[in-house]
Structure 1
Amino acid sequence: MTELNLETIRIDRPVDGVAVVTLDRPDKLNAQNNTMFREIEEIAWALNDEDDLRVVILTGAGRAFCAGFDLDDAKNLPSLGALGMLSQQELAARALLAFRSMRVPVIAAVNGPAAGGGFSLALAADIRIASPSAKFNAAFVRIGLTAGDLGVSWLLPRLVGPAVANEIAFTGALVDAEEAERIGLVNKVVGADALMDECLAMAALICANSPGGVQLSKRALMANQEVASYAAAIELENRGQALLTRSPDMPESLAAFLEKRAPKFTGA
């Protein structure tokens, strides 16, 4: 990966094929500022260029996942003109879009509160695993803003259904970890001490599969949330399957099955 000069985020490599991206402003509950937004985008593009990368795990340092936009910076927002505010929004939106658009699966290890823009960031992951201290909050309406921010209005109804999404958005209420699991906002809740191990175990299950198969599965699942017909979805799926039969990983997996051994995937 290209060497990055990071101030608000760190990257660790616990095992081959897995990058752990940690929001690293624990004294601010990992609140987002413009530096963090720029670094999220830079990291997403840099990691996306790694051929050996299979999974990204996103988490927060300390006791929070991400408290949303830093209030020390937010106080300046009303003084921005319309175009200035639009530029601010687009800076943040580019960061989250870059992360969501990564070609490999992203697992959010939600270790504590995820509020506002932090809630948006957690939603942008493909899989969410939470500790009991995780709390989710679309806090926007409590500070005079709309919950239509950084993808929440698109992602949240697709995860929990329109009625539950409406309740979360309109009330600004906290959703604790147990409730988040019940409504499908997170995949599972595990003990705080087991959170990273659980995410790494999930990553290992993903890494055991063909890299091309996983990446094109993610592409199909994401793209087909945006098409309007079953026929269009099938057309995209057909192309993905046709492409993967040209990869050496597909005949290798068949041979491994017949020979009763683990496949050796190359991602070629």
Structure 2
Amino acid sequence: MIRYEVTGAVATITLDRPEAMNSLTAEVKTALLEALRQAAGDQQVRAVLLTGSGRAFCAGQDLREHADNLEAGRGLANTVREHYNPIVELITTMDKPVVAAVNGVAAGAGASLAFACDLRVASEKAKFALAFAGIGLAPDSGASWTLQRLVGLGRATELMLLGEPVDAPRALELGLVTRVVPADDVLKTAGELAERLAQGPTRAFAATKRALAHAATSSLPDALAVEADLQDECAATADHLAATTSFLAKERPTFGGR
């Protein structure tokens, strides 16, 4: 259902329902949130890798479970508020970089999970589909917030209203993904990227995420004020002191994440 593994300073979280294209049941969403909380709270983990098993990254909501809820009169069963919202909020606000290895189809909430990550490495066979309107629903899982920040309002509107699949080359062209690699290399490439981030200045990365999130909805004076506060925090870290000393000594810095 969910596999959680830590190698070095990287936590890998794998959606593991390949027979169902890693679609999201209530049980899977609960386990995913638990795994993300575990990674966020582990001081030894300095980067997170999110991926899926089999031929899909995540096909979104499990429609069989959803149909059962509709038939029983439970509607969405409050899954947006109880599951999707806290999952996406944790990914976007976690004080650690989160990399998505998009190994195949990412549809609906599955696409939203990928968009919430800081960086996305996609297989050349990957496809993204914002399928919400196709089943008569509005977007969820933060897609209305993340997608337009990746591609702009016009493109986000097009992708959501038309719901047409976006293949990997087009996703790269639009800015939906960071890199596109051969299918056999996607997990390796994403893992190397996560490991690179895990060896970096973790607190500076966290400050960068906070600065970007704030600046996306603030005025320039407010953004400048937050940057100043975050810079003060980073200037007091051991990593900044060590990196400055290394720079002056013409040495490559080693970051401890502190």
Specify if TM > 0.5. Answer: yes
Give the letter for the 1:12 counterpart.
E
Measured on the aligned residues, the alpha-carbon RMSD in Å equals 1.7
Aligned to 2:251: 261
Query: What is the CA–CA distance in structure 2 between the aligned matches of 1:30 and 1:127, rounded to whole Å?
Result: 20
1:63 is aligned to 2:55: yes
1:211 Cα offset (Å): 1.8
Which aligned pairs between 1:121-200 and structure 2 lie closer than 5 A?
121-146=113-138, 148-200=139-191
Task: Pick closer, same or farther for the CA change 1:94–1:208 going to 2, 3 Å.
Answer: closer
Check the 8 A contact 1:249/1:266 in 2, yes or no. Answer: yes
Give the letter for the 1:29 counterpart.
M
Aligned to 2:200: 209
Query: What is the CA–CA distance in structure 2 between the aligned matches of 1:28 and 1:126, rounded to whole Å?
Result: 26
TM-score, normalization by structure 1: 0.90
Give the letter for the 1:39 counterpart.
A
Check the 8 A contact 1:57/1:109 in 2, yes or no. Answer: yes
Match of 1:119 among 87, 111, 116: 111
Which aligned pairs between 1:228-239 and structure 2 lie closer than 5 A?
228-239=218-229
Aligned to 2:6: 13
Give the letter for the 2:162 counterpart.
T
TM-score, normalization by structure 2: 0.94
Aligned to 1:243: 233
Check the 8 A contact 1:41/1:96 in 2, yes or no. Answer: no
- List per-residue Cα deviations over 1:57-78 (Å, max 9, x = no partner): 1100000000111121010243
1:229 Cα offset (Å): 0.3
Higher RCO, 1 vs 2 (CA within 8 Å, ≥6 residues apart): 2
What SS does structure 1 have at the residue aligned with 2:155?
A: helix
1:248 Cα offset (Å): 1.9
Identity of aligned residues (%): 37
Which aligned pairs between 1:210-225 and structure 2 lie closer than 5 A?
210-225=201-216
- Number of aligned residue pairs: give it: 257
Task: Pick closer, same or farther for the CA change 1:252–1:118 going to 2, 3 Å.
Answer: same
Check the 8 A contact 1:17/1:55 in 2, yes or no. Answer: yes
1:50 is aligned to 2:42: yes
Check the 8 A contact 1:130/1:177 in 2, yes or no. Answer: yes
Check the 8 A contact 2:2/2:15 in 1, yes or no. Answer: yes
1:265 Cα offset (Å): 2.5
Check the 8 A contact 1:63/1:112 in 2, yes or no. Answer: yes
Give the letter for the 1:11 counterpart.
Y
Query: What is the CA–CA distance in structure 2 between the aligned matches of 1:18 and 1:150, rounded to whole Å?
Result: 24
- The answer for unaligned runs of 5 or more in structure 1 is 1-7
